[in-house]
Amino acid sequence: MRLFLLGLLACPDCGGDIAFARLEILSRPEENVESGVLVCRGCRREFLIEGGIPRLRPRAPAGARAEKTRRAFGWEWLRYPGSRPGDEAVFLEETMIPRAAFSGKLVLDAGCGMGRYSAVARSLGAEVVAVDMSESLLRVAQAARADAKLHPVEGDLLRPPFKKGIFDLAYSQGVLHHTTDTRAAFMAVAALVKPDGFLSVWLYGKAGRFSEFATNPLRPGRARLAAHRRLAWWIVLVRQAFSDFVRFFTTRLPVPLVYALCYPLTVLGAVPGLKYLTFSVDPDFQARLIENFDWVSPPYQWHHTKEELAAWFRQAGYVPLSLLAHGLVPKPGMLGRRGR
C-alpha cells in the first residue's frame, strides 16, 4: 500500500476517514507499505495491512454462502493463466470506454480478480485502484510492488471502503451478480464516481420476456440469430434451466472437488455442437477450465436484463451512453456518464 491511497479510503462501516495507527518507517513517501495498521477516525475500528494489501472488509460477517463465493474466486484466479494477448481488445470492447479516456485518470476496478484488466487500464495510462474480496489480490499486490500507480484493496462491493465521488471512472466486468444483491452493489459502486465520470458494468444475462430479448443488441455477424430470435430465446431458456440444475449440486460441493469435475466439462468445450452445453468455448484449455469453474462454483450468481441495468443507471443519476452487443447468450452491459 502506498501513501497516496490513504486519501481515497473510507471506513466500510461508518464512512469515516482512514489514518495510520501503526506504520513501518518509510524513507520515501512513494515506498510500498507491506504491513501496518489503519484506523478509522470515526468509529476507531482498526484494519490490517498485510502483504501490501489494506484489508477493509465490513465488520458484519459475510455469511457462509458469500464466504464460499470468496473462496471459490480466490481458488479460480490464483490458477488463471494471467494476462493474455487479446486482453486489451476485449477490455475496450466490453467496457465501451474510449481508449483516450484512461490516460491520467483515477480508475476503480470493481472486482479485479487477479488484476487481468487492471493491467490493461494501467497500460492505457490510468492510475488504478483494484478492489476484490478474494485472495487473488495476492497477484495484484505482487504486480503493485513494481508499479506505484497500482493499488490493491480488499473490500466488499456492497460496502466499498472508499470516499464517494472520488474516481474519474469505474468499471465492473462480470462481478456484481456474484454479490448477495446485484442492485445494491451497483448503487454502491456508482456512488464512487465523480460527476461527469464514466461507469461501465456488464452482468450475466437471462432470457427474460421475449419482447425484451428481441431487442437485445447483437454483435456483427450474428444475422442468423437475428432471423431466429424466438428459437434463440428458447435455447437460452433451456440452457439456463440446465445451468440451474448443474449448479444445484456444484454449489454444495467442496471447491477443490468442483474444480476437478470441471475437467470433463472442459473437454466437451472443444467438441463441435456439444461445446454449447458447457459454459466456455475459449480455445485455450486452461482458460476454458477456469471459466467453467467460474460458472458452476460460486453460490451467488444472479441474472439480469438490459432493461434492469438501464433502470439502475438512471436511478443512480447516470445517462446511459451505449449498450454492449453480444451473441446468443444475453450479456447486458452498459456505459453511462454520471450527471452533475
Contact 171, 97 (CB under 8 A): yes
pLDDT-based confidence at residue 29 (cuts at 50, 70, 90): low
pLDDT for position 301 = 94
Mean per-residue pLDDT for 33-46? 94
| pTM confidence score | 0.93
Residue 23, pLDDT score: 67
Nine-digit cell string for 134? 478474494
3-state secondary structure of 47: strand
State how far Cα 235 lies from the chain centre: 27
Domain boundaries, the chain: 1-56, 61-229+298-340, 230-296
Task: Give pLDDT, residue 168.
Answer: 98
pLDDT digits (tens, 9 = 90+) for 173-219: 999 999 999 999 999 999 999 999 999 999 999 999 999 999 999 98
Q: Is 270 exposed, middle or buried (0-12, 13-18, 19+ CB in 10 A)?
A: middle
Please give the average per-residue pLDDT across 110-115, as a whole number.
Answer: 93
Class of domain 61-229+298-340: alpha beta
SS (H, E, C) 300-325: CCCCECHHHHHHHHHHCCEEEEEECC
Contacts of 146 (CB under 8 A, 6+ apart): none
**Which range scores top for mean pLDDT: 167-171, 220-224, 266-270?**
167-171
